[in-house]
Amino acid sequence: MATSCSKICKLLLLGRTPYVAAWKLQQEISSVRRSGRGDDTLILLEHDPVYTMGRSGSQDNVKASPETLLAAGLEVIEVDRGGDVTYHGPGQLVGYPVLDLKGHGQDLHRYSWMLEEVIIRTLAEYGISSFRETGLTGVWTEKGKIAAIGIGVRNWVSIHGFSLNVNPDMWYFSLINPCGITNRPVATMRDFGIDTSLDEVRGKLEQQFSAVFNVQLLPVQEDCIDELIPARTHAVG
């Protein structure tokens, strides 16, 4: 639970959103934060099926042929986060915290730890035991990796974030080596017999994010996004 001394963090719930539109929005909000204006913002959403490739990624970890990807309507988008290739799609809760990390310890390892902690605590509410793996990012379970972490930071302002597998279509993971890992499976909450909605998981995750980061989440309506970006002159889409 956030305390009375908590900082304000805007909460933006976008629903199903194309990846590039969400990435552009993060960049715009982070630009405002780097200028010393605006508030920290947590974006929670779900993506259309897409693969993203981080700065240290290798095309060798995309197992599907270009023809297979084209036939399935899938893109591989190179992005400015750490890590290798990962999948985003329906049934996966994705979070993009755009935070000025100078107010959250100014330590990238600690920031990654805090994101993992949010997910570990959220899963615990469903009776799922999860943990960190030495030398690897993300959140793990006895059945495999259930959440991925990939961040980008510029002038101590973060973009990108995490994805939690609630009940995604696992076929999409079979076309890649998720996060470049070949010898460990991907897990979902459904694998543990949890039949729930993204909205329910999101609500629990919001509470844990507020507690771990000691922030008060203040919802912003989607049609009020311009409040987050004072100089903005066009809509996201």
Hey, which residues are catalytic here? 179
DSSP 106: S
Q: Which residues of 31-52 are buried (b: 16+ CB within 10 A; e: fewer)?
A: bbbeeeebbbbbbbbbbebbbb
- Contacts from 196-199 at CB under 8 Å and sequence distance 24+? 196/126, 196/166, 198/46, 198/91, 198/93, 198/166
**What per-residue string of b and e applies to 147-164 under the rule 16 or more CB within 10 Å gives b?**
bbbbbbbeebbbbbbbbb
Q: What is the distance between the alpha carbons of residues 82 and 216, in angstroms, rounded to a whole number?
A: 28
Question: Per-residue DSSP letters for 4-60?
Answer: TTPEEEEEEEEEEE-HHHHHHHHHHHHHHHHTT-S-EEEEEEEE-SEEEE-TT--GG
Beta bridge partners of 88: 50
Cross-strand bridge partners of residue 145: 140, 186
